[in-house]
Amino acid sequence: MKTCTVPTQFGDLILFEEDAHIVALDWGVAAREDSTEVLEEARRQLLAYDAGTLEAFDLPLLVKGSDFQREVCAEMSAIPFGETCTYGDIGKKLGAPAQAVGGACGGNPIPIIIPCHRVMGAKGLTGFSGAGGVETKVALLRHEGAGGFLL
């Protein structure tokens, strides 16, 4: 697997590429810095998102996991920049319980690019599986102008 590090206001991010697809994003510094067309484009887009000049990612993604995991990731990817929805909203679309959707959101292998931070619980803000937990989720939502519900 090829990797690279992208420094952002949300922390250093590690991109993982396999077979010309982004397969994961994590927090930290990559053990090895690779350069491929896919990694360089993903880096460029993450930096543009971080700078506030990109609202939608356009990258080749490969979500490993169950069909349900891929369906939930597809629904999260359809949530527009600056907007939120609930686990229940996604559950209704997929005919699944909100708790199952929450589990799939927590297992999102490509956070930020697949915007699980835009998914809330029925009563508001919930956890976030990325580094920094809910504080990072709040930072991402504020960055997108979706943090008004926090005031």
For residue range 121-139, list pLDDT tens digits in order. Answer: 887 777 777 777 888 998 9
User: How buried is 17 (Cβ within 10 angstroms: 0-12 exposed, 13-18 middle, 19+ buried)?
Assistant: buried
Residues marked active site are found at 116
User: How buried is 32 (Cβ within 10 angstroms: 0-12 exposed, 13-18 middle, 19+ buried)?
Assistant: exposed
Structure confidence at residue 151 (pLDDT) = 44
Consecutive H or E run containing 13: strand 11-18
CA 52/CA 103 separation, integer angstroms: 29
21-48 pLDDT per residue, tens: 999 999 999 999 999 999 999 999 999 9
